[in-house]
Structure 1
Amino acid sequence: MLAKDVVAVITGGASGLGEATARTLAAAGAKVAILDMNLDAAQAVAADIGGIAVQCNVADAASAEAAFAQVRSSLGLCGIAVNCAGIAPPGKIVGKEGPLPLSDFDRVIQVNLVGSFNILRLASNDMAQREPNADGERGVIINTASVAAYEGQIGQAAYAASKGGVVSMTLPAARELARHGIRVNTIAPGIFMTPMMAGLPEAVQESLAATVPFPPRLGKPEEYASLAAHIVANPMLNGEVIRLDAALRMAPR
């Protein structure tokens, strides 16, 4: 699918992987809508790329429905959706203060997994109403998982479970939405330089980078965005989970 003049909804688009993707798709001519909890940051990015910003809690049905209604009113039907919103709080199953609060586990599942499905269901409903291109294609959805879906570390039970769910729903979603001409793919990044990572001490960043085989560094958000743009452009990519990790395999801790 050509991104030019297509409405692209990017969740978590105010920073990190989402911001890089929003900028890349805008440069390709897409009409970008940035959905984020941080409206001020989203508006700053949107103003810079000629898009719009919408405050949205992806884990809340009413919030996401209202966001899509605003996007339709301002730009039209969504044709590209990229799920980058997510959280990754660490938490051991049994810690010094006892078992992990169930609410902590639930919050991660709600944002990362339920939130991804929430956007997927709304975006695909929009896409199904679009006119198909010559290939019969109406839309592209890209979810974000993590290598933790496969090699979750100690303290990542909730995060790994949420991302494992994103991985598992990719193929059935692609199969179901194929009749509408909608492709569904997932990117599973390794260790990337995101705002959360940037907040860690430099020594910790260097230690993490040293675990990456090649190139031996943290991934750049622009590299995630480049893959997302390629997925949009390549009609044969469907139902796939693509690791973007420089051959990294996570150790237990």
Structure 2
Amino acid sequence: MEMKDTCAVITGGASGLGEATARVFADAGAKVTLLDRDTTRGPEVAAELGGTFVETDVTDEASVQNAFTTARETMGCVNAAVNCAGIVIAETVLKKDGGIHSLDSYRKVIDVNLAGTFNVARLAADAMKDNAPAPDGNRGVIINTASIAAFDGQRGQAAYASSKGGVVGLTLPMARDLARAGIRVMAIAPGVFMTPMLAELPQDALDTLAKDVTNPKRLGDPREYGQLAKFIVECGYLNGETIRIDGALRMM
């Protein structure tokens, strides 16, 4: 699968990993449709890339279905989907003030990061199933975003690590489910990347985060995530696996 023949839907495309992925794909000749809730930044990025923006709530079936309908109309088909939409809520199970972890906040993280990922992935598969197959039978690829927190979850990450662990657990069975349709499913587990959320931290805090990375001792560049996603699209034998991209960081 070559990037010039790729028609990609990218969630969280208005910023961070999603925006970087869209830029890498577009630079390589792919068509892109960006899905996000940010109706200011999203259209600006899409316009720069010659792509399309669709305001989308990944947890809502009708919203995502509308996005795929628009994507197929504007690009001609959908044969790649990259799930980058997600949220982070840090909360310990038992709090110092005597409180306990909010069930509502836990459900919110699971709803966006896991159920939202599954919602987009299943509708992406539905959009891809009628594509003309490549010589090896491939009709498309779905790339979901996990996190190294799925394996090395830290204090205060019960909800986040649960959601990302679910994305890892989703990868192989979904790949097996979609094999007969010729659709591959992969996951990327990034470490600590310089996303807009981290960019708000003071430099000394960023330096502390980078110090724990084995090599190279720096935060990940979102474009590196995009380059890995591009490689997965192009390498048709990758399927059913989660790839860590973290500079060998192992969180304690």
**TM-score range normalised by the length of the shorter chain:** over 0.9
Q: Cα offset for 1:88?
A: 0.9
Partners in 2 of 1:51 and 1:5 — Cα distance?
Answer: 14
Are 2:198 and 1:204 aligned? no
**Where does residue 8 of structure 1 map in the other structure?**
8
**Where does residue 193 of structure 2 map in the other structure?**
192
The residue type paired with residue 225 of structure 2 is: Y
Partners in 1 of 2:43 and 2:215 — Cα distance?
Answer: 36
Are 2:147 and 1:146 aligned? yes
**Where does residue 53 of structure 1 map in the other structure?**
53
Instruction: Indicate the larger mover: 163-172 or 195-204.
Output: 195-204
**Where does residue 67 of structure 2 map in the other structure?**
67
Matched pairs, number: 251
**Where does residue 169 of structure 1 map in the other structure?**
170
Identity %: 55
Q: Cα offset for 1:76?
A: 2.5
**Where does residue 103 of structure 2 map in the other structure?**
102
Q: Secondary structure at the match of 2:79?
A: strand
**Where does residue 29 of structure 2 map in the other structure?**
29
Instruction: Indicate the larger mover: 205-214 or 64-73.
Output: 64-73
Structure 1 length as normaliser, TM-score? 0.97
Q: Cα offset for 1:104?
A: 0.2
Q: Cα offset for 1:135?
A: 1.4
Instruction: For structure 2, list consecutive stretches of 5 or more residues without a partner in the other structure.
Output: none
**Where does residue 132 of structure 1 map in the other structure?**
133
Q: Secondary structure at the match of 1:238?
A: coil
Partners in 1 of 2:98 and 2:37 — Cα distance?
Answer: 31
Q: Secondary structure at the match of 1:4?
A: helix
Q: Cα offset for 1:77?
A: 2.5
RMSD: 0.9
Q: C-alpha offsets along residues 55-105 of structure 1, whole Å, 9 cap, x if unaligned? A: 001011121111112212222321100000001111111212511111100
**Where does residue 120 of structure 1 map in the other structure?**
121
Q: C-alpha offsets along residues 192-249 of structure 1, whole Å, 9 cap, x if unaligned? A: 0000110111111110000001001100001111100000000111001000011100
Partners in 2 of 1:123 and 1:77 — Cα distance?
Answer: 11
**Where does residue 217 of structure 1 map in the other structure?**
218
Q: Secondary structure at the match of 2:107?
A: helix
Partners in 1 of 2:5 and 2:248 — Cα distance?
Answer: 35
Are 2:155 and 1:159 aligned? no
